[in-house]
Amino acid sequence: MKLFTKNMIILLFVVLLAVLPLYVAGDAEFGGADGLASDAIMELNADYTPWFESLWEPPSGEIESLLFALQAAIGSGFVFYYIGYSKGRQGQNKRDQA
């Protein structure tokens, strides 16, 4: 099987993984775990008071999502930079030994 064909099959699976949940759960709310956790805590103990408050509350949900995505992008950038750097250094060590 050609490399192009393999890549297209993988791309199709990625697109299906992204679109299929939206189709299957079309009317579902995609909320975060924070809201569900606080609701569950209040169900168990109505007198519960949080230990601390947020230092800054984003003005809208869109900005909160943007900051979360930015944090994820920066984190993955560091992780994959380290992986690439380690792989390059490993290849350089093999070339130096040869």
Cα separations in angstroms, 82 against 73, 79, 89, 90, 94: 14, 5, 10, 12, 18
pLDDT of res. 37: 84
Does residue 23 or residue 85 have the better pLDDT? 85
Cβ atoms of 85 and 79 within 8 Å: the answer is: no
φ and ψ of 24, to 5 deg: -65, -45
Mean pLDDT throughout 68-87? 96
Residue 30's pLDDT band (cuts 50, 70, 90)? low
Mean pLDDT throughout 87-92? 89
pLDDT of res. 39: 84
Which sequence spans correspond to the domains of the chain? 59-98
- Give the N- to C-terminal CA distance of the chain in Å, as an integer: 33
pLDDT in tens, 40-77: 888 998 888 888 888 888 888 889 889 999 999 999 99
